[in-house]
Structure 1
Amino acid sequence: MHRSKLSNMQEAAILLILLGVLSEGEALHLVHLPATSSVAENSPPETPVHKFSVKLSASLSPVSPGFPLVINSSPLTEAFRVNGLSGTDFEVVTTGREQLDFETGPNIFDLQIYIKDGVGATDLQILTVQVTDVNEPPAFPGNLAKGIELYIAEGTNPGSIYQVEAFDPEDASRNIPLSYYLISSSKSFRMSANGTLYSTTKFDFEAGNSSYYLIVEVRDSRGLKASTTLQVNIVNLNDELPRFTSPRRVFPIREELSPGTIVANISAEDPDDESFTSQLLYSITTVNNYFMINQLTGTIQVAHRLDRDAGELRQNPTISLEVLVKDRPKGGQENRMQITFIVGDINDNPATCTKFTHSILVTERAAKGTLLLDLNKFCFDDDSEAPNNKFNFTTPSGVGSSSRFLQDPAGSGKIVLIGDLDYENSSNLASGNKYSVIIQVQDVTPPYYKNNIYIFILTSPENEFPLIFDRPSYVFDVSEVSPARTRIGQVQATDKDFPQSSIRYSISTGGASLQHPDIFWINPKTGELQLVTKVDYETTSTYILRIQAANSEDMSSVTVTVNILEENDEKPICSPNSYFLAVPVDLKVGTNIQNFKLTCTDLDSSPRSFRYSIGPGNVNSHFTFSPNAGSNVTRLLLASHFDYAGGLDKIWDYKLLVYITDDNLLSGRKKAEALVQTGTVTLSIKVIPHPTTIITTTPRPRITYWIRRENIYSPSAWYVPFVITLGSILLLGLLVSLVILLVRAIYRHCPCKTAKDKKPLVKKGEMKMAKRAAVVETIQMSTVFDGEAIDPVTGEIYEFNSKTGARKWKDPLTQMPEWKQSSPQVAALHRMAAGEGNGPPRTTNKEEDRLSGKAQAEDAGLGSRNEDGKPGTPKNRHSALTGRASPKPHPGK
């Protein structure tokens, strides 16, 4: 222990010297430290130990948050911490995290108090705390300190009962005996000086007290004392047989009592302790599934259903049980008694039937008096004794049943037919030829349970009438412009047989073309005929269909003619669809421009039905068509002259949208109901301001026309831009792939550049044969570092292995050798730890320059060698620790 303390003191002194060097020239000091103080053992938390203050630095920078603090202690403990008082005053107090015990030690603690201000000035001092001894009274261990309970059976002979033991924390190592005393006065107990408790009499639970309260005191050699309590309880013993007090032995009960119903009360008493009847335990020893007994009160209750009409009770309604009563606790005195229960029958089962619903199929021409059903074959009563198991049937009831069905004889349950079931009888149609008969089966004794029996009598029809359509044939008209799902008409078939079954409609033949296998669709339930697709009058004007109707018994078919009504559903188509024209600025009004002619056709319109109009683009109405209606051929004329000089006209390029409308003159409908279709033509017209060629030999100028034709994109040629776009994308992808392959080839064959300070890892003769590979250095955990050097950039010390070149950084505070403590590099290390910078160390004499040069040489690679003994490549801190290639050299190197 003394060696450890001396070592810690030396380390603290070294740390003080280092921190003194760090804070040299600063005015931050801990006042009233170092010092020695004391604290009593087992002190509570926040007990004051020592007060001190802080002298701030010249800059009056405040103390950094969290300082001062205990950074180390010898031996290591968390029993102390530093609390701030006010300003620069502080106090060391106990924390309560660890118990300070003088007897178990340790007794002396060396606390290192560390202070730091906002500018980085620090100080560290030692506070020695000694734990002082406090005289403690003796104590009882464990639960004995709070008091315990002791138990003695009645009738026990006098003698030793319990050994009381205590301990003295002060005299535990010297084994000084303690003295025990019985403070409470009792003639039944005494205590020896060594703590043994004795009874002086034989206890009887019924004759005396059942418990005693004793106070025991213990004293040590200094007169200090402690006390505890002992409660001695006398245990009552049973030695008499309990006896039954209830006189009844036979209990008649009825069946179907609810579980939990009390059917008997068994009582007994214990002569040994008559005032506590609850001390007796009751049980049923006979194995049974019907009854249970309350083990404390002796009450017998129903545990499960008592069914007199099923199982063993139907044959024997008597249940015999044996009741056992015994003293508590288990294993005491006991007695037995036989009791008997007789279970009586009640009318608890209604008359029931294996089937409560019956369906009977009867032909519509069944004869009167026919026996339809005998209910006695299906009904019974589960009660075990008469008259509880007797029943009868009530008169049939139900709409229409009284005149058609009856029991014969009455109440016998035999149902016979007495009426007419013909389907064609109008009175039978009112009930739908389905009859519901309700008969009740009922007990003859109270409470007269009833159950309903439902009898459904169905009449089976006969097929007497065929299935026919309401018309011998159908003719429907539909316009050729009608969309899909248009309703064309409806067919309907009927069957006079009752009941009428559902009819399904279908198209057996007709209604097909080369393009569409199904042009029409019929609703299978309603017979409504609809279009599946549009029809074309010009292709087919009439369709002949064969429609079939079928039900569960018959099938019939009918012819349906569908006439397609012609409509004006075709647009006019003109040639040319688009054109470019050139117009001289001085062209005469009424002239056919370049002899342009527009020829139009329409599949469903007359050549005289066309009308021509010019939409947007005809600015100032310079252009018109002649004729403008009544012909399928028209010409473009100049309607008015151009006036650019007067400013009326300003545009030279016209884009005309020509509308060609048919008036459906061939339609037989009225003009207001006729449909109209419109086609379009696009004309591009350029006005030529100056004639190209003028002939001067004639008084009238002659104009030479230059006609330019343009290729105009048609929407039907959608594939042209698609093919161009797809080809561009494929070409672009090919170019990108070639560029990537070229870059990879250049990267693969291009020699990599190496750093200037790197040396090859293979010999010159092996350079051509060696493959390029990444060099990775690893530091084994068992590497021996036999050299030291200082990094010229960071100023930190690292160790290296002269053979492998492996390096590791060295802690400047805990692992610094003593011969280097006074070196300038250590001073630089202290300045760096204090936050003054990370630059290279500053030297002031030749010795410092020599040492710095040596360290730089070692860092440059002179101290590290490869496996072949040659100098290794220099590495910075990152490469030395991780084994990776060195990054770009620091500018300071």
Structure 2
Amino acid sequence: MVNTNKAEVTVTGTPRFDFEMAPNSFVLQILVVDSAGDAVLDTLTVFLKDVDEAPVFLDEDSVIYTLEKTPPGLIYQPSVFDPENKPLTFTLTPSNPEFNADRDKGSLFTTKAFDYETDPRSKITAFTIPEELNPGHIITNITAAVPDNIFYIGYILYTISTNSYLAIHTHSGVVTIANRMDRDSNPLRDDPTITVTVAATYSPPGPPLSHSIELTITVTDINDNPPICSPDTQTRDVTETEALGALITTVTCEDNDVDPMFREHNFTRLSCLGCNQLFTLSPTGSITLNGSLDFEDPNNLYTGNQYSLLVEAADMNDTSLTGNAFIDVTVTPVNEYHPVFVPPSYFYKISELLGRGAVIGEVNATDRDLPAIGVSYSFISGGGTSGLSNIFHLDPKHGTITLLTRPDYEATQTYQLVIRAVDGDPIRPLSATTTVIVNITEANDEPPVCGPNNTHLTVPMDLRTGSNVQSFILTCTDKDSPPSSFIYTISGASNLNSHFVFSPLSGTNVTRLILKEPFDFSGGLDRVWRYRLTVLISDANLMAGEPQPRDEPQTGTVVIDIQVVDPDLTTTAITTTTPRITYIAVRENTFDVDDWYVTFICVLAALLLLGILGYLLYLCGRYLSTLDCSCCEPQPLEDKEIL
């Protein structure tokens, strides 16, 4: 795959195509499947094109022996193979009148009978051969002749001086290659000339005869080494924001051939699966960026932002000699984008009745940077008069806002929170902020507060019904309820025989305590002279225009102590300005054994007096102990009478 919608079919090179030996066509089935799972199958047919190849001599290194005096005739029939089986034409190079070659079959003929003693022999002692010839390859054939005046029968033996590359046949004098000759390695790299001495020795029954010659073989370089790239594997980290044309790396290759002409090479191929032309290779081996490495580009996501590049260098004189280098390019992400809140701001409305742990809402910020490294949230400012940390809690990972405590509408109606989102880049983090408005809606969470409380009132037993008891007026306030919402009731257990009632009973924040039923002590109906009224004030009265109460009603409490007295027993009468209403002030011992504080105060006072008295006695004793009483000692009186 080159990208998400383009694919390439390439040749692997293993095994090599051979038109004559392998199939000439290939049928490839290509299956394409999209992200939705839909598939289609197509067929690609590849045909091989025949390339004319040179014929091959199967017996290239042939040595032919023929006896002297042999009549002219056929001495050699070559074995030649042509891959295409095309007609062949043979020629003899260089031409020689003593030999002839058949043009169609390549048969080699002699044109005369040779004389071993009189025919000329080659006197060439210097040879130039290419390197890397196979061992056994014939360099030359050394022949020696016996003088005509030698009439006894003997034989000639050939020897060669000690060396690492050449050998000679003892009886035939054929000089062959014994070991590999590598012109590109020492010692031949520094000195390509091989000098040896060949000796021919005739061994008849009489004294031996010998002769020697010196052979010089010069080994020439051939173009047999491919370019070698070093290092052949590289790893490069490139940021996703790298500019077009930036140098990624440079590939360096060298050819070990000696001849400068054979060392020339250039870079011919850059392959990369899924690169989509992102990289460019120059003839000098420089790889530059030719596209965008943006991590967030969908075309780059397919490859995982990692690329394996294969660079091929080819010998300029023999393109079959190639060298390879692999470059692994890893794209490193760059923190490019700030987090973005969606939506850009938030508005929530909550009741002041919500308590600790209640979820208000959630903020959410996204980061376009890939790979995703997460976003964390924190408060910058906000909160009410009691401080941010005492009102709201923000989950740093999920952005959830919850209550730490119950909000109070009467203290703060609106909170403006500023929240920061920071991405997870440890080196260069980027952030964004958003505003969260939290409106607190009013709820009936405050009980009525009324006064006066714990009031002591005195009521004459003959007080007329409908009268305001000692001008007592109850006034109430409520932070979250209007004056019209109050309802006044007196606990039935404390209001025995229902003597007392408030007027009005509801719809106002000011009401009076009224005597509803007269007292009847003489008839035996009433026996209680002291009342402790428990007044319940509720804010549950329906507001004007509201069919239902707003919230759960709240209730306040006031306690009123009332003492009923007989006016005939009073010692002081106080007449108020209110017509027909008389208030009686009664003096009475109100000690009660249940009043523990009276005993406590009395005991405390007695102990204090005893302490003071003891201290005074102590001071008096100290003073008396310091007085000089010697002058005050009584003198005995003379007896006036005999005792």
TM-score (normalizing by structure 1): 0.29
Bigger proportion of residues as helix: 1
Q: Which has the higher contact order (CA 8 A, sep 6+)?
A: 2
